[in-house]
Chains A and B, each alone.
Chain A
Amino acid sequence: MEKSPLIKVKGFFSSIFAGLDRQLGFILLGLAAVGFFTFLSASQNTPVQIADELRNLALSFLVMWIVSRIPPKWLEMGAVWIYGFGVALLIAVAAFGLIKKGARRWLNIGVVIQPSEIMKIAMPLMLAWYFQKREGIQKSWDYGVAAVILAIPVFLIARQPDLGTALLVFAAGLYVIILAGLPWKWILPFIGLGVIGILLIIIFGGTICAHDVVWPFVHDYQKHRICTLLDPTSDPLGKGFHTIQSMIAIGSGGFFGKGWFQGTQAHLEFIPEKHTDFVFAVFSEEFGLLGNLILIALFFALIKRGLAISASGPNLFTRLLGASVTLIFFTYAFVNIGMVSGLLPVVGVPLPFISYGGTALVTLGFGAGILMSIHRHRRLVQS
């Protein structure tokens, strides 16, 4: 019996979306919608085209769809190769990369690519692969090996210099290592040190930021950045300007926001990078605390769902990979909102699915695709 065309179309779509996680899909669509509407406002008076943003979003979802079709087993097999390829590219960058604005981050291979971006996926892949290999026969020194695997690309990226990406790649690897079972007795001292360090900086911020105090192991500009974070008004027209202006944008938004397209801070160019890294300030000014709560709820839902999918992964590799990718989403969101709202130092981290930018969207799509793929190949739900 001939099927009606409608049923054919329906069948086509159901086969396309077969096995995709609906919850995750809707969350991502929600974020993309927020991103798109914010972009419309933020990109006003800038040369960035709406078509570009739509294409990037489409590309991101396409990558997600393709990756979701790839069985995790293939990723597992390709992990070492991808990691090796990524490190090779990073070495190539160090050797003959392009220099822009004093940083050597790009490689011209016909198109200009940024290899450090690959490491955001390659790093958890590689470490998850390693711990999968060592499953059951894990020894203490495995963490040492993992540390080396982690350190090489992080070091290469950090000296480009690209602290933001290095931080994210480091975090991606660290999540795998911690989730793989790094003993608490090794983790807790670091957490303790971190907390003490932050407290010391907050308490003694004034003193250590005095002009003539030289910090060991830290560049002047890094010291400046941290000090500006502690007190943005110390440099209101320089480094602190961006933070102050985005805080003004957020704060002036109030509870309900100024309304779509009504943000004065955004539209009068007070917000730097307003459609990329600082897009949250635009959103926050126009949609207020209410919008922010919805946005954070969306991110929280994304992470909850990602972690749930990871937990249901068929083997250790998929579980570690999925959880790491999910936590990277979280890291992006937390660091970005934190820096735009003046809670964290300014590092170049985009807001997932909201910030404009092709590369980041593709990487994020890839990550989401991994989660989808894991979901497709999940362990049979216990009945």
Chain B
Amino acid sequence: MVSFKKPNLDSFQERIHIATLFVTFCFLLLITRLVWLQLVSHGKYALLAESNRIALVPAPANRGLIIDRNGIVIGRNYSALTLDVNAEEVKGNVDQLINDLSEIVAISPRDRRNFKRSLEDSRNMGTFPLRSMLNETETARFMANRYRFPGVEIRARSFREYPYNELASHLIGYIGRVSQRDKERMQTEIEGAKADDPDALQASFLPGIQYVGKIGLEQSYETVLRGVPGYDQVEITAGGKPVRTLSSSPSVPGKNVVLSVDIKLQYLVEQLYGNFRGAFVAIEPETGDVLAFVSKPNFNPNDFVEGIDSVTWKELNDSPQKPLYNRPLKGIYPPGSTYKPFMALAALENKKRTPSQTISDPGYFDFGNHTFRDDKKGGHGIVDMQKSIVESCDTYYYMLARDMGVNMIADFMRPLGFGQITGIDLQGEARGVLPSTEWKKNTFKKPEQQKWYEGETISLGIGQGYNAFTILQLAHAMANVANNGIVMKPHLVKAIEDPFTRNRVLTTPKESYRIDLNAENIEVIKKAMVEVNNSGTSAAAFKGTGYQVGGKTGTAQVFSLNSKDYKHGSTAEFLRDHALYIAFAPADKPTIVIAMVVENAGFGAQYAAPIARQALDYYIEGKWPKEVPEWKRAP
């Protein structure tokens, strides 16, 4: 029996040994794997486990207010009830949930689209508004049905509001939902912050921001207004449910920006423009404070905050009136006769004319084989410098331009700010064109185009030709002359205000540079401009002022602002001349300068000067014109 079984048992035992080896091998394999995971890669997995369990929940910061120079709030926040949905809870059946909710509260297709977009955009957890501004009935109805909707709740959220709607829309701008491009910009901001900021975590939280300034001051002062979002460090489950708060960091509200703009003046001017298109800039020369910054027509920035609907957008975007176009900042116009005082000053400074030196004006000026005509048939007769400004004599300036030459003109105009970026605190400023031989060489490709022709200089004298400036530049140049050559950078915001202490920090009243101008020469020009309003082209508009005003009218041939686009509009109207006007007042010690254009209105004296008159009456004497509705504070 034993001898029979023996060989079999041996073979069995041999196989048991092999099995033991196999088991040992397999277990060593497991141990290797575990050593790999738990020793070698421990750091990596520990980090992963941490990031797994910790989520940062944003606590948005209150956006700073936008306040005018007199304390009137023109950009503010209000709190409204919002239906908030937790992204984690609805994964998979968003549409079903929205359908169910829409039986209780009204949900527009736009709400649905916006909500789904925010869901897609956000990889991390968080709650997103589905419907905002719930009314009482809706709130009550939802509360009664609340048990049916886990992960949906009513919350008070802060919304941006511009209480005066269209007023000052181009300078305030608006905020909107963060776009992909905004995100990328913020990313660079974060990376910049990480390098030198101990509070990098806060900065890294910028992606939690849902709204960002898109244009205007909302955009250029975004980082001031935004504040620093806070966050809660929350331990979460795999399902994204918060378990407990590990730490939290409060948000720091954004700072208020205090404008140098007088919003009542702004309102008045916007009203005075009526249905006219145009741009109006008023500056306090001594400080560079921009007092009014008007672009007509306007739009309502409130339409943009929660995402503009396509109908309104199409209307605004397709309108031949171009209401979205920031005219004082981007629109470039030939300055027309408003350029003459600057030309005259250039002549004095370059000793090409004395004030008393005269010319004889036959009503035209021949240069080469071209005749440049004067406005006045038969001419102005004997013309000295003052008369040339008061009566706006073209021939005087044709000759002056010829005598100075393009480069001498350009060299004088450049420091005044013509064709230069003024550096105002808005993005997207147009540079315009201050012609010079060098400019032409750099601008055109073909050699025959690059050459400057003497004849081209002539019309520069009357603010035509290649001259193309923004109304902001014109106002800036006027301010620089009014301020006797001391150049102040124009700015819309004059102070940053702490939202709690109300402490204000002045931002920009700094002198940029000084132009070396002869005070007597400036006096000559100022005096001539005052005379313009006493007996000259705009005397009618300024009859009976209780203060002295220097001014100059201008009429510019339509030249820019995408004139080809206007053709399918009412061509006749859009081809009419632009009416321009510049002014400073009171003449002896100017507190305000104005540059303005009324597009396609005709003569400057007729259309632009009266607006300037009423604006000055208000600003200097506090007189409110009868035909303009009284200013009312927003509720």
Please give the residue numbers on chain A whose beta carbons come within 8 Å of chain B beta carbons, in ascending order: 135-136, 175, 178-179, 181, 245, 247-255, 264-265, 268-270, 284, 288-289, 292-293, 296, 299-300, 303-304, 307, 310-311, 316, 319-320, 323, 327, 330, 334, 337-338, 341-343
The answer to whether A252 touches B27 (Cβ under 8 A) is no
B48 contacts across to A, CB distance below 8 A: 248, 251-252
Query: A-side binding surface: helix, strand, loop or mixed?
Result: helix
Question: Within the assembled complex, what's the spacing in Å between the Cα atoms of A316 and B11?
Answer: 11
The answer to whether A269 touches B38 (Cβ under 8 A) is no
Residues 11-33 (chain B) with a chain A CB within 8 angstroms:
11-13, 15-16, 19-20, 23-24, 26-27, 29-31, 33
Please give the residue numbers on chain B whose beta carbons come within 8 Å of chain A beta carbons, in ascending order: 4, 8-9, 11-13, 15-16, 19-20, 23-24, 26-27, 29-31, 33-35, 37-39, 41-42, 44-46, 48-50, 52-53, 235-239, 243
Q: Which residue of A lies closest to B4 (CB)?
A: A136
Question: Within the assembled complex, what's the spacing in Å between the Cα atoms of A126 and B485?
Answer: 110
17 contacts between A and B (CB under 8 A): A175-B19, A178-B15, A179-B12, A250-B34, A251-B41, A251-B49, A252-B48, A254-B39, A255-B42, A265-B52, A268-B235, A284-B34, A289-B34, A289-B39, A299-B27, A300-B24, A316-B12
Q: Which residue of A lies closest to B54 (CB)?
A: A264
A249 contacts across to B, CB distance below 8 A: 49
The answer to whether A270 touches B238 (Cβ under 8 A) is yes
A341 contacts across to B, CB distance below 8 A: 30, 33-34, 37
Min C-beta distance of B8 to chain A, whole Å: 7
Question: Within the assembled complex, what's the spacing in Å between the Cα atoms of A342 and B32?
Answer: 12
Min C-beta distance of B49 to chain A, whole Å: 4
A330 contacts across to B, CB distance below 8 A: 23, 26
The answer to whether A288 touches B45 (Cβ under 8 A) is no
The answer to whether B46 touches A252 (Cβ under 8 A) is yes
- Listed residue (B34, B39, B44, B50) with the most chain A CB atoms within 10 angstroms of its CB: B34
Q: State whether A264 and B52 are in contact (beta carbons under 8 Å apart), knowing that A250-B37, A255-B39, A304-B20 are contacts in the complex.
A: yes
- Which of the residues A245, A251, A284, A323 comes within 8 Å of B44, measured between beta carbons? A251
Q: Which residue of A lies closest to B37 (CB)?
A: A251
B11 contacts across to A, CB distance below 8 A: 181
B27 contacts across to A, CB distance below 8 A: 296, 299-300, 334
B41 contacts across to A, CB distance below 8 A: 251
Q: Which residue of A lies closest to B31 (CB)?
A: A296
B31 contacts across to A, CB distance below 8 A: 292-293, 296
Q: Which residue of B lies closest to A296 (CB)?
A: B27
Report the 4 A-B pairs with minimum CB-CB distance, sorted nearest first: A251-B45, A252-B49, A289-B38, A251-B37
Q: Which residue of B lies closest to A320 (CB)?
A: B12
The answer to whether B39 touches A248 (Cβ under 8 A) is no
The answer to whether B15 touches A179 (Cβ under 8 A) is yes
Q: State whether A311 and B16 are in contact (beta carbons under 8 Å apart), knowing that A254-B42, A289-B35 are contacts in the complex.
A: yes
The answer to whether A248 touches B49 (Cβ under 8 A) is yes
Question: Within the assembled complex, what's the spacing in Å between the Cα atoms of A178 and B19?
Answer: 10
- Listed residue (A136, A265, A284, A320) with the most chain B CB atoms within 10 angstroms of its CB: A265
The answer to whether B24 touches A247 (Cβ under 8 A) is no
Q: State whether A255 and B38 are in contact (beta carbons under 8 Å apart), knowing that A178-B15, A250-B45, A264-B49 are contacts in the complex.
A: yes
Question: Within the assembled complex, what's the spacing in Å between the Cα atoms of A76 and B226?
Answer: 82
Question: Within the assembled complex, what's the spacing in Å between the Cα atoms of A179 and B35?
Answer: 32
Q: Which residue of A lies closest to B34 (CB)?
A: A292
Min C-beta distance of B416 to chain A, whole Å: 63
Other contacts beyond A248-B49, A253-B38: 19, CB < 8 A: A135-B8, A178-B15, A179-B15, A181-B15, A245-B238, A250-B37, A251-B46, A269-B239, A270-B52, A289-B34, A293-B31, A311-B16, A316-B12, A319-B9, A320-B12, A337-B30, A338-B29, A338-B30, A343-B29
- Listed residue (A181, A248, A252, A320) with the most chain B CB atoms within 10 angstroms of its CB: A252
- Listed residue (B27, B38, B237) with the most chain A CB atoms within 10 angstroms of its CB: B38
Min C-beta distance of A169 to chain B, whole Å: 18
Q: State whether A252 and B34 are in contact (beta carbons under 8 Å apart), knowing that A268-B237, A269-B239, A311-B12 are contacts in the complex.
A: no
Question: Within the assembled complex, what's the spacing in Å between the Cα atoms of A248 and B52?
Answer: 9
Min C-beta distance of B6 to chain A, whole Å: 12
Q: State whether A268 and B52 are in contact (beta carbons under 8 Å apart), knowing that A247-B45, A251-B41, A255-B38 are contacts in the complex.
A: yes
The answer to whether A303 touches B45 (Cβ under 8 A) is no
Question: Within the assembled complex, what's the spacing in Å between the Cα atoms of A284 and B39?
Answer: 12
Q: Which residue of A lies closest to B49 (CB)?
A: A252
The answer to whether B16 touches A296 (Cβ under 8 A) is no
A178 contacts across to B, CB distance below 8 A: 15
Question: Within the assembled complex, what's the spacing in Å between the Cα atoms of A181 and B13?
Answer: 11
B35 contacts across to A, CB distance below 8 A: 289
The answer to whether A292 touches B235 (Cβ under 8 A) is no
The answer to whether A265 touches B38 (Cβ under 8 A) is no
Min C-beta distance of B176 to chain A, whole Å: 31
The answer to whether B20 touches A292 (Cβ under 8 A) is no
Question: Within the assembled complex, what's the spacing in Å between the Cα atoms of A293 and B48?
Answer: 23
- Which of the residues A253, A265, A303, A316 comes within 8 Å of B23, measured between beta carbons? A303
The answer to whether A269 touches B237 (Cβ under 8 A) is yes
The answer to whether B37 touches A334 (Cβ under 8 A) is no
Question: Within the assembled complex, what's the spacing in Å between the Cα atoms of A175 and B11?
Answer: 14
Min C-beta distance of B17 to chain A, whole Å: 9
The answer to whether A284 touches B38 (Cβ under 8 A) is yes
Q: Which residue of B lies closest to A249 (CB)?
A: B49
Question: Within the assembled complex, what's the spacing in Å between the Cα atoms of A296 and B238?
Answer: 29
A175 contacts across to B, CB distance below 8 A: 19
Min C-beta distance of A337 to chain B, whole Å: 5
- Which of the residues B29, B42, B236 comes within 8 Å of A268, measured between beta carbons? B236
Question: Within the assembled complex, what's the spacing in Å between the Cα atoms of A148 and B348?
Answer: 117
B20 contacts across to A, CB distance below 8 A: 303-304, 307
Min C-beta distance of A213 to chain B, whole Å: 28
Question: Within the assembled complex, what's the spacing in Å between the Cα atoms of A328 and B48?
Answer: 35
Q: State whether A179 and B49 are in contact (beta carbons under 8 Å apart), knowing that A250-B34, A268-B236, A292-B38 are contacts in the complex.
A: no
The answer to whether B23 touches A288 (Cβ under 8 A) is no
Question: Within the assembled complex, what's the spacing in Å between the Cα atoms of A163 and B30?
Answer: 22
B23 contacts across to A, CB distance below 8 A: 300, 303, 327, 330, 334
Question: Within the assembled complex, what's the spacing in Å between the Cα atoms of A378 and B30?
Answer: 33
B237 contacts across to A, CB distance below 8 A: 268-270
Question: Within the assembled complex, what's the spacing in Å between the Cα atoms of A300 and B20?
Answer: 9
B34 contacts across to A, CB distance below 8 A: 250, 284, 289, 292, 341
